[in-house]
Amino acid sequence: MVFSYDELLEATENFSQERMLSDCKYRGDLKDLDTVVFITKMKIKSIWAMEEYIVKLERISLNDHLYNPNTILSWPIRFKIVLNMGSGLQYVHSEFDFILIHGNIKSSNVLLDSSFNAKLGDLGFLKNLAHDDDEGSSLNSAKWAAPYGYIDPELFITGRISTASDVYSFSIVLLEIACGRLPIILQQDAPTSLVNLVWELYEMGAILDAADARLNREFNRGEMERLLLVGLWGAHPDYRQRPSIREAVKSLNFTAIPMPNIPLRRPTTTKEHCTSERRRYTVSPGLWC
């Protein structure tokens, strides 16, 4: 249904403070329909931005499907989404004379059309880097767009943004797709990361036990194992040990690239590494390993 601006003004009492739920989001009462709605007030500065927003509204995100109790994404659809995501991020990282960094990769920013074709949306930090800039760019971690569970832990140490930061976030989404679980989960009433959970199962030689239980083991075992391993590879605590997105995509496509020798125990970032990295970068005070 479409409502006029006057109708929205009436429903929100002229977008009053009392009706505000959070930044730019309001509770609205549509009295004629006896319905309560949530209304987002946006400032769109161009026709291009308006068209992009309308296209986004016509799609639904991966997050909406993955965590909907009434919907189960089949394995072929999940693996198709993974390959679409990898292809999109590879384009962002390598198809220009400079490097673009997405900066906001998360499951709610993976947009799906009616055929479950996936596209990466809502770029958070679109940063230009020269292709020979291996060190990346300095950035206060507070400005990183992605939520905590998706943020590269190296970013908290160094403030350094690079393509490896995107690969980390991408890998977290891979694990979400495989496991059907959020990046931060409760385990024995304490929060832990999905990466830790999958790595523990990998250590025990039971990595396939990490697969989404709702799939009832109805998946291609080789694809599931490869997806989980690439997820761990890309989420390595040391950014220097992660694959490029091109390497990750090749591995997911089972092309001629050897899988890394992922350590059986999850490596941790050492205090010595933290100290040496802080000497090289300007970081926000109080951010430790």
Tens of pLDDT, residue by residue over 229-288, are 999 999 998 888 999 999 999 999 998 777 777 887 777 654 444 444 444 433 333 322
Residues in CB range of 105: below 8 A, 6 or more apart: 89, 120, 146, 150, 166, 169, 170, 173
What confidence score (pLDDT) does residue 45 get?
Answer: 66
Is the Cα torsion angle 281, 283, 285, 286 positive or negative in sign? negative
Is residue 168 situated within a structural domain?
yes
Is residue 55 situated within a structural domain?
no
Question: Highest-confidence range of 149-153, 191-195, 231-235, 281-285, by mean pLDDT?
Answer: 231-235
Is residue 21 situated within a structural domain?
no
Whether residue 108 is predicted with pLDDT greater than 60 in this model: the reply is yes
Beta strands in the chain (DSSP E): 20-22, 25-30, 35-40, 60-61, 98-101, 110-112, 118-120, 127-130, 137-138, 160-161, 184-187, 190-193
Is residue 99 situated within a structural domain?
yes
Give the 3-state DSSP-derived string for 91-145, with helices as H, strands as E and coil as C: HHHHCCCEEEECCCCCHHHEEECCCCCEEECCCCCCEEEECCCCCCEECCHHHCC
% of the chain residues with pLDDT over 90: 35
Q: How many domains does the chain have?
A: 1
Can you name the residues that pair with 112 across neighbouring β-strands? Answer: 60, 118
Task: Give burial (CB, 10 Å; 0-12/13-18/19+) of 160.
Answer: buried
Is residue 288 situated within a structural domain?
no
Is residue 254 situated within a structural domain?
yes
% of the chain residues with pLDDT over 70: 71
Q: At what angle do helices 163-179 and 75-94 cross, to 10 degrees?
A: 180
Is residue 128 situated within a structural domain?
yes
Is residue 213 situated within a structural domain?
yes
At 26, list the tokens.
């309001």
* Domain containing residue 71: CATH number: 1.10.510.10
At 102, list the tokens.
């997405």
Per-chain mean pLDDT for the chain:
78
Residue 120 lies in domain: 62-280
At 33-58, the pLDDT tens digits run 666 666 777 666 666 666 666 555 55
